[in-house]
Copies of this chain bind each other. A is one copy, B any other.
Amino acid sequence: MSLMTRAEHALSAHFEQAAGTGAPSRLVAAMRHAVFSGGARIRPQLCMAVATACGDNAPQLTNAAAVSLELMHCASLVHDDMPAFDNADTRRGLPTVHKAFGEPLALLAGDGLIVMAYRVLLQAGVQQPERLVALMDNLTTGVGLPHGIVAGQAWECETSADLGQYQRAKTGALFVSATCAGALSCGVAPEPWAFLGQYLGEAYQVADDIRDVIADAATLGKPAGQDTLHARPSSAQALGLTGAIAHFDHLIDQAAASIPACFHRDMLCQLVQHEAERLVPKAMCEGYFKAHPKVAAAPMNAPH
C-alpha cells in the first residue's frame, strides 16, 4: 500500500470515528468538505514515512498521528481562506468551505477540526499513554503559541515580521511536527528528525511563494497573485524569482541530506525529490521564463 493510500484510508476511518453520531449534519458536511477535497497529504505521508524508517511498531498510533496533523492543516486552510484573510473562493479547484457552506459553518468547521485532531489521538492512544502525551505535546507545539502555525499566520498581522521566522512558523512548524510524530509514534527520540521537517517546511513555503507568481489559478486550484495582493512577506518578493528558486533547490538538498541513517533512507530521499518536483515543476519554471525573458535575466539576489 502506498503512503498516499494509507493516509487516505486512515483519514476516512478516523474522521468518521471521531465525528461520532448525532452531530449537526451541515457542520459534519463542512468539515468533510474541508478534509476530503483532494489534498496532497504530504504531512501525513511524511509522518508515515518517518515511522516506517523507525520501525513502525505501533501502526495504528502512527495513522492517528498522521491524521491529526492533516486535520490541523485542513483547519488552518479553512480559516485562512475566509474573507478575514485570503477571501479565496476556490481551493484545490473546488469552492472553499465558506463559499460552499457560509462563513459561520466555516468558522466552526475549523474549530471542530482542531478539536477533532486531539480526539483522533485520544481515541487511538489510550493503550500507550506516554507516547500519546508526547504526540499531543508535539502536535500542540506545531500549531499553537509561541511558534506554531497559528502564530505563523498571525505574523501577517504584525507591523513588522522577520521573513524566516514567519515562514518557519507558518508552514515549517507543522512539518517539524510531522517528522517528529513519525518517530514519537514508534517510541523513538524525535530530535534527529526535526531537521527534515524544518528544511522541507521552509521549502514548501518558498514553493508557495514561487507558485503564487508563476502559476495560474487553474494550476493552483486557487487564486494566484495573493501575496502581492495582500502585501504578505514573500521569498519571491525578497529574493527575486530566480533567487527564490535557487533557495528552494538548496532547501530541498538540505532536507535530503538531513535524513538520519535508517532503514528505507532511499525511500525518504525519493519522497523529498518527488515532492520538490511536484511543488515547483521544472517545466513550469522554464515555461514562465520563456514567456517573461526579463525576469530570467534579472540579477539574482542572494538569499539571506
Contact (Cβ within 8 A) A147 B24: no
Q: Which of B23, B104, B114 contacts A147 (CB 8 A)?
A: B23
Residues of B with C-beta under 8 A to A122 = 133, 136-137, 140
Q: Across the interface, do A145 and B111 meet the contact criterion of CB distance under 8 Å?
A: no
- The interface-forming segment of A56-64, A154-162, A215-223 is A154-162
Q: Quick one: closest B residue to A27, CB to CB?
A: B154
Q: A161 — nearest CB in chain B belongs to which residue?
A: B24
- A133 to B121 alpha-carbon distance, docked (Å): 10
A115 and B130 contacting across the interface, CB-CB below 8 Å? no
Q: A20-B146, A26-B154 are in contact. Are A114 and B111 (CB under 8 A)?
A: yes
Question: A140's contact among B23, B75, B85, B115, by CB below 8 Å, is which?
Answer: B115
| A-B contact sample (13 more), CB < 8 A, given A23-B147, A107-B107, A132-B133 | A23-B154, A26-B158, A27-B151, A28-B145, A75-B111, A84-B102, A104-B156, A105-B154, A110-B111, A112-B145, A118-B144, A125-B133, A126-B133
Residue A129 at the chain B interface, CB threshold 8 Å: yes
Report how far A158 CA is from B79 CA in the complex, Å: 20
Find out whether the CB atom of A143 lies under 8 angstroms from the CB atom of B158. no
Q: Does A239 contact B (CB under 8 A)?
A: no
Contacting residues, chain B, for A20 (C-beta < 8 A): 145-147
Residue of B25, B83, B102, B158 near A24 (CB, 8 A) is: B158
The answer to whether B140 touches A118 (Cβ under 8 A) is yes
User: Does A82 belong to the interface (CB within 8 Å)?
Assistant: yes
In the complex, are the beta carbons of A111 and B150 less than 8 A apart? yes
Q: B112 touching A115 by the CB < 8 A rule? A: no
Given contacts A118-B140, A119-B144, A140-B119, contact A27 B107 (CB under 8 A): no
Would you call A104 and B133 a contact (CB within 8 A)? no
- A77 CB to closest chain B CB (Å) equals 12
- Taking CB atoms, residues of chain B closer than 8 Å to A23 are 145-147, 151, 154
List 29 A-B residue pairs with CB atoms under 8 Å apart, sorted by A's residue number: A19-B146, A20-B145, A20-B146, A20-B147, A23-B145, A23-B147, A23-B151, A24-B154, A24-B155, A26-B158, A27-B145, A27-B151, A27-B154, A75-B111, A84-B107, A101-B157, A104-B157, A108-B150, A110-B111, A111-B150, A112-B150, A112-B151, A114-B115, A115-B143, A115-B144, A115-B145, A116-B144, A129-B129, A129-B130
